[in-house]
Amino acid sequence: MRLDLFLKASRLIARRSLAQKFCDANRVKVNGLAAKSSREVKANDEIEVTKGNRLLRVRVLQVPATKQVSREAAANLYEILSEETINDDLLR
């Protein structure tokens, strides 16, 4: 499954178009490398998403077979490894 579709299906980012913008702005990394929205996501990949001054790091537990996933199932697609606030100086 594409990264942008996974971010939407897992509800880490609300819309696919927004997920694509995050990827284009280098705000999404997979396994430590900046990732394009078309990158394939596999189980055990680590995804980092920077939203404003928040850094969310998750591990993919499973990739859904369909683009649409229920809210309950979305929470089971990943596990949160860390969630931290980033100093504003580091963002510049």
Domain boundaries, the chain: 3-91
90 class by beta-carbon count within 10 Å (0-12 exposed, 13-18 middle, 19+ buried): exposed
Q: Write out the CATH class of domain 3-91.
A: alpha beta
Print pLDDT tens along the chain (92 aa). Answer: 999 999 999 999 999 999 999 999 999 999 999 999 999 999 999 999 999 889 999 999 999 998 889 999 998 999 999 999 987 655 55
- Full-model pTM: 0.89
| DSSP tag of 27 | -
Q: Is 77 helix (H, G, I), strand (E, B) or coil?
A: coil
Instruction: Give the whole-angstrom CA distance, residue 53 versus residue 87.
Output: 7
